[in-house]
Amino acid sequence: MSDIPFKNPGWAGNTGEFDLSEEEVRGEDFVGTRPVHGGHASGAGTMPYMLAKKDPEGVLFEGEYRERLDKILSRYPTGQAALLPALGLCQEIRGYVSPESMDAVAEVLDLSPAYVRGVATFYTMYNKRPVGKHLVQVCTNISCNLAGADEVVDAFLTYTDTELGQTSEDGNFTVIEAECLAACGFPTCVQINSRYFENVTPAEVPKICEHLKSERE
Ligand code: FES
Protein backbone atom coordinates (compact mmCIF):
# COMPACT_ATOMS: atom_id res chain seq x y z
CA MET A 1 0.00 0.00 0.00
CA SER A 2 1.11 3.52 -0.66
CA ASP A 3 1.80 5.74 2.34
CA ILE A 4 0.14 8.69 0.61
CA PRO A 5 -2.49 9.85 3.12
CA PHE A 6 -6.10 9.56 2.05
CA LYS A 7 -8.92 11.62 3.39
CA ASN A 8 -11.65 9.33 2.21
CA PRO A 9 -11.10 6.22 0.13
CA GLY A 10 -14.78 5.37 0.58
CA TRP A 11 -14.52 1.83 1.82
CA ALA A 12 -17.51 0.89 3.92
CA GLY A 13 -18.75 4.48 3.99
CA ASN A 14 -15.58 5.84 5.56
CA THR A 15 -16.34 9.51 6.20
CA GLY A 16 -12.77 10.58 6.69
CA GLU A 17 -12.80 10.22 10.47
CA PHE A 18 -10.98 6.92 10.27
CA ASP A 19 -7.69 5.98 8.81
CA LEU A 20 -8.28 2.40 7.74
CA SER A 21 -6.55 0.54 4.95
CA GLU A 22 -8.53 -1.41 2.37
CA GLU A 23 -7.21 -4.63 3.92
CA GLU A 24 -8.46 -3.62 7.34
CA VAL A 25 -11.95 -2.88 6.06
CA ARG A 26 -12.50 -5.63 3.53
CA GLY A 27 -10.29 -8.34 4.96
CA GLU A 28 -7.02 -9.56 3.50
CA ASP A 29 -8.75 -12.50 1.83
CA PHE A 30 -10.43 -10.10 -0.55
CA VAL A 31 -7.61 -7.81 -1.52
CA GLY A 32 -5.83 -9.19 -4.52
CA THR A 33 -5.58 -12.68 -3.13
CA ARG A 34 -8.72 -14.44 -4.24
CA PRO A 35 -8.04 -17.10 -6.86
CA VAL A 36 -9.27 -16.89 -10.44
CA HIS A 37 -11.26 -20.10 -9.95
CA GLY A 38 -13.34 -18.13 -7.45
CA GLY A 39 -12.90 -20.29 -4.37
CA HIS A 40 -16.15 -21.73 -3.06
CA ALA A 41 -19.04 -21.77 -5.53
CA SER A 42 -20.89 -19.21 -3.43
CA GLY A 43 -18.24 -16.61 -4.22
CA ALA A 44 -17.40 -17.66 -7.75
CA GLY A 45 -19.81 -15.22 -9.37
CA THR A 46 -18.99 -12.28 -7.15
CA MET A 47 -15.40 -11.49 -7.96
CA PRO A 48 -14.67 -7.87 -8.90
CA TYR A 49 -15.54 -7.42 -12.52
CA MET A 50 -12.83 -4.91 -13.29
CA LEU A 51 -9.25 -5.78 -12.45
CA ALA A 52 -6.19 -3.69 -13.28
CA LYS A 53 -4.63 -6.62 -15.14
CA LYS A 54 -6.44 -7.10 -18.42
CA ASP A 55 -5.59 -9.31 -21.36
CA PRO A 56 -7.65 -8.39 -24.44
CA GLU A 57 -6.57 -11.66 -26.08
CA GLY A 58 -7.06 -13.78 -22.95
CA VAL A 59 -8.50 -17.28 -23.28
CA LEU A 60 -12.01 -17.16 -21.91
CA PHE A 61 -13.18 -20.45 -20.49
CA GLU A 62 -10.17 -22.68 -19.93
CA GLY A 63 -8.24 -23.88 -16.91
CA GLU A 64 -9.18 -22.07 -13.71
CA TYR A 65 -11.64 -19.89 -15.57
CA ARG A 66 -13.44 -23.00 -16.84
CA GLU A 67 -13.59 -24.17 -13.24
CA ARG A 68 -15.01 -20.78 -12.31
CA LEU A 69 -17.63 -20.95 -15.05
CA ASP A 70 -18.67 -24.43 -13.92
CA LYS A 71 -19.12 -23.12 -10.39
CA ILE A 72 -21.23 -20.25 -11.68
CA LEU A 73 -23.35 -22.67 -13.73
CA SER A 74 -23.84 -24.87 -10.65
CA ARG A 75 -25.62 -21.97 -8.95
CA TYR A 76 -28.20 -21.35 -11.69
CA PRO A 77 -30.97 -23.53 -13.10
CA THR A 78 -30.24 -22.66 -16.74
CA GLY A 79 -27.47 -21.22 -18.89
CA GLN A 80 -29.69 -18.25 -19.59
CA ALA A 81 -29.84 -17.46 -15.86
CA ALA A 82 -26.03 -17.55 -15.68
CA LEU A 83 -25.59 -15.09 -18.53
CA LEU A 84 -24.71 -11.97 -16.50
CA PRO A 85 -21.94 -13.54 -14.39
CA ALA A 86 -20.59 -15.29 -17.50
CA LEU A 87 -20.34 -11.93 -19.27
CA GLY A 88 -18.74 -10.53 -16.13
CA LEU A 89 -16.15 -13.28 -16.30
CA CYS A 90 -15.29 -12.30 -19.90
CA GLN A 91 -14.85 -8.71 -18.82
CA GLU A 92 -12.68 -9.68 -15.88
CA ILE A 93 -10.34 -11.60 -18.19
CA ARG A 94 -10.26 -9.27 -21.18
CA GLY A 95 -11.32 -5.95 -19.69
CA TYR A 96 -14.21 -5.63 -22.10
CA VAL A 97 -16.86 -7.71 -23.83
CA SER A 98 -16.21 -7.82 -27.57
CA PRO A 99 -18.65 -9.24 -30.14
CA GLU A 100 -16.38 -12.31 -30.27
CA SER A 101 -16.64 -12.71 -26.50
CA MET A 102 -20.42 -12.47 -26.74
CA ASP A 103 -20.41 -15.25 -29.34
CA ALA A 104 -18.19 -17.39 -27.11
CA VAL A 105 -20.59 -16.90 -24.22
CA ALA A 106 -23.55 -17.79 -26.44
CA GLU A 107 -21.85 -21.01 -27.44
CA VAL A 108 -20.82 -22.08 -23.95
CA LEU A 109 -24.28 -21.30 -22.51
CA ASP A 110 -26.14 -22.71 -25.52
CA LEU A 111 -27.93 -19.43 -26.23
CA SER A 112 -28.43 -17.55 -29.47
CA PRO A 113 -25.75 -14.92 -30.25
CA ALA A 114 -28.52 -12.35 -30.80
CA TYR A 115 -29.91 -12.95 -27.32
CA VAL A 116 -26.49 -12.56 -25.70
CA ARG A 117 -25.79 -9.36 -27.65
CA GLY A 118 -29.15 -7.95 -26.66
CA VAL A 119 -28.38 -8.47 -22.99
CA ALA A 120 -24.71 -7.41 -23.11
CA THR A 121 -25.47 -4.17 -24.93
CA PHE A 122 -28.33 -3.32 -22.56
CA TYR A 123 -26.10 -3.03 -19.48
CA THR A 124 -23.62 -0.16 -19.31
CA MET A 125 -21.41 -2.03 -16.83
CA TYR A 126 -20.18 -4.24 -19.66
CA ASN A 127 -17.50 -2.36 -21.57
CA LYS A 128 -17.96 -2.73 -25.30
CA ARG A 129 -14.44 -1.65 -26.10
CA PRO A 130 -11.05 -1.92 -24.36
CA VAL A 131 -10.44 0.33 -21.36
CA GLY A 132 -7.34 1.37 -19.42
CA LYS A 133 -5.94 -0.42 -16.40
CA HIS A 134 -8.08 1.85 -14.26
CA LEU A 135 -11.63 2.48 -15.45
CA VAL A 136 -12.66 5.71 -13.73
CA GLN A 137 -16.43 6.08 -13.53
CA VAL A 138 -17.51 9.42 -12.15
CA CYS A 139 -21.12 9.65 -11.04
CA THR A 140 -22.69 12.75 -12.57
CA ASN A 141 -26.21 12.04 -11.39
CA ILE A 142 -28.17 14.55 -9.35
CA SER A 143 -26.57 14.41 -5.86
CA CYS A 144 -23.05 14.22 -7.19
CA ASN A 145 -23.81 16.79 -9.84
CA LEU A 146 -24.98 19.29 -7.23
CA ALA A 147 -21.75 18.65 -5.33
CA GLY A 148 -19.57 19.44 -8.33
CA ALA A 149 -19.22 16.15 -10.22
CA ASP A 150 -18.62 17.95 -13.52
CA GLU A 151 -15.51 19.56 -12.06
CA VAL A 152 -14.34 16.16 -10.82
CA VAL A 153 -14.78 14.75 -14.33
CA ASP A 154 -12.79 17.66 -15.75
CA ALA A 155 -10.03 17.11 -13.19
CA PHE A 156 -9.69 13.44 -14.17
CA LEU A 157 -9.68 14.32 -17.87
CA THR A 158 -7.06 16.99 -17.31
CA TYR A 159 -4.83 14.69 -15.22
CA THR A 160 -5.08 11.84 -17.72
CA ASP A 161 -4.95 14.14 -20.77
CA THR A 162 -7.89 12.35 -22.35
CA GLU A 163 -11.42 12.97 -23.52
CA LEU A 164 -14.39 11.05 -22.15
CA GLY A 165 -14.14 7.36 -23.04
CA GLN A 166 -10.63 7.69 -24.41
CA THR A 167 -7.78 5.66 -22.91
CA SER A 168 -4.70 7.58 -21.82
CA GLU A 169 -1.57 7.16 -23.88
CA ASP A 170 0.16 5.12 -21.17
CA GLY A 171 -2.83 2.76 -21.05
CA ASN A 172 -3.49 3.51 -17.40
CA PHE A 173 -6.78 5.38 -17.35
CA THR A 174 -10.14 5.57 -19.09
CA VAL A 175 -12.56 8.14 -17.69
CA ILE A 176 -16.30 7.92 -18.22
CA GLU A 177 -19.42 9.36 -16.62
CA ALA A 178 -21.71 7.01 -14.71
CA GLU A 179 -25.29 7.14 -13.54
CA CYS A 180 -26.06 6.93 -9.82
CA LEU A 181 -23.58 4.63 -8.06
CA ALA A 182 -25.82 4.32 -4.98
CA ALA A 183 -23.51 6.35 -2.76
CA CYS A 184 -25.54 9.56 -2.99
CA GLY A 185 -24.75 10.47 0.63
CA PHE A 186 -21.07 10.80 -0.22
CA PRO A 187 -20.90 12.94 -3.35
CA THR A 188 -19.00 13.01 -5.59
CA CYS A 189 -18.72 9.25 -5.85
CA VAL A 190 -16.17 7.73 -8.20
CA GLN A 191 -15.88 4.02 -8.95
CA ILE A 192 -12.41 2.97 -10.10
CA ASN A 193 -12.40 -0.64 -11.22
CA SER A 194 -14.15 -2.39 -8.32
CA ARG A 195 -13.40 0.24 -5.69
CA TYR A 196 -15.43 3.23 -4.54
CA PHE A 197 -13.95 6.63 -3.74
CA GLU A 198 -16.38 8.95 -2.00
CA ASN A 199 -16.58 12.69 -1.33
CA VAL A 200 -14.09 13.22 -4.13
CA THR A 201 -13.15 16.81 -4.94
CA PRO A 202 -11.19 18.05 -7.97
CA ALA A 203 -8.20 18.82 -5.74
CA GLU A 204 -7.98 15.16 -4.68
CA VAL A 205 -7.92 13.76 -8.20
CA PRO A 206 -4.12 13.91 -8.78
CA LYS A 207 -3.56 12.27 -5.37
CA ILE A 208 -5.97 9.45 -6.19
CA CYS A 209 -4.35 8.81 -9.56
CA GLU A 210 -0.86 8.84 -8.07
CA HIS A 211 -2.06 6.47 -5.36
CA LEU A 212 -3.37 4.04 -7.96
CA LYS A 213 -0.10 4.16 -9.86
CA SER A 214 1.95 3.57 -6.71
CA GLU A 215 -0.24 0.60 -5.73
CA ARG A 216 0.42 -0.99 -9.10
CA GLU A 217 4.14 -0.47 -8.83
S1 FES B 1 -26.07 10.57 -7.41
FE2 FES B 1 -23.97 10.04 -7.32
S3 FES B 1 -24.03 8.18 -6.20
FE4 FES B 1 -26.11 8.68 -6.40
Q: How confident is the model at residue 15 (pLDDT cuts 50, 70, 90)?
A: very low
Task: Look at residue 190 in the predicted model and tell me its pLDDT.
Answer: 92
CATH number of 134-216: 3.40.30.10
Probe target for ligand 1 pocket from 152, 180, 186, 199, with the most ligand atoms within 8 Å of CB: 180
Cα of 59 from ligand 1 centre, angstroms: 35
Q: Which of 137, 138, 139, 197 to mutate to test the pocket of ligand 1 (most atoms within 8 A of CB)?
A: 139
**Residue 47's pLDDT is what?**
63
Testing ligand 1's pocket by substitution, the residue of 179, 184, 196 carrying the most ligand atoms inside 8 A of its CB is 184
pLDDT at 27: 54
pLDDT at 12 over 50: no
Reported as a pLDDT band with limits 50, 70 and 90, residue 195 is: confident
Q: Give the DSSP letter of residue 167.
A: B
Distance 200 CA to ligand 1 centre (A): 12
Note the pTM of the prediction, 2 decimals: 0.79
Q: What are the distances in angstroms from CA 152 to CA 104, 131, 148, 169?
A: 37, 19, 7, 20
* 134: pLDDT strictly greater than 80: yes
Strand 173-178 and strand 134-139: pairing? parallel
CA of 185 to the centre of ligand 1 (A): 8
Q: How far apart are CA 211 and CA 217, in angstroms?
A: 10
Which residues are near ligand 1 (CB < 6 Å)? Answer: 139, 141-144, 180-184, 187, 189
Q: Give residue limits of the domains in the chain.
A: 41-122, 134-216
Closest CA to 196 of 8, 3, 7: 8
Tell me the percentage of the chain whose pLDDT exceeds 90. Answer: 55
Alpha helices in 16-134 (DSSP H): 22-26, 64-74, 83-94, 99-109, 113-122
Task: Return the pLDDT at 125.
Answer: 86
Predicted confidence (pLDDT) at residue 194 exceeds the cutoff of 70: yes
**pLDDT averaged over every residue in the chain:** 84
Average pLDDT on 61-66 reads 90
Which atom of ligand 1 is found nearest the CA of 181? 3
Cα(28) to centroid(ligand 1), Å: 28
pLDDT average, residue stretch 88-114: 94
Find the mean pLDDT for residues 75-93: 93
Asked whether the predicted pLDDT for residue 4 surpasses 90, the reply is: no
pLDDT tens per residue, range 26-52: 555 555 556 777 777 777 776 656 677
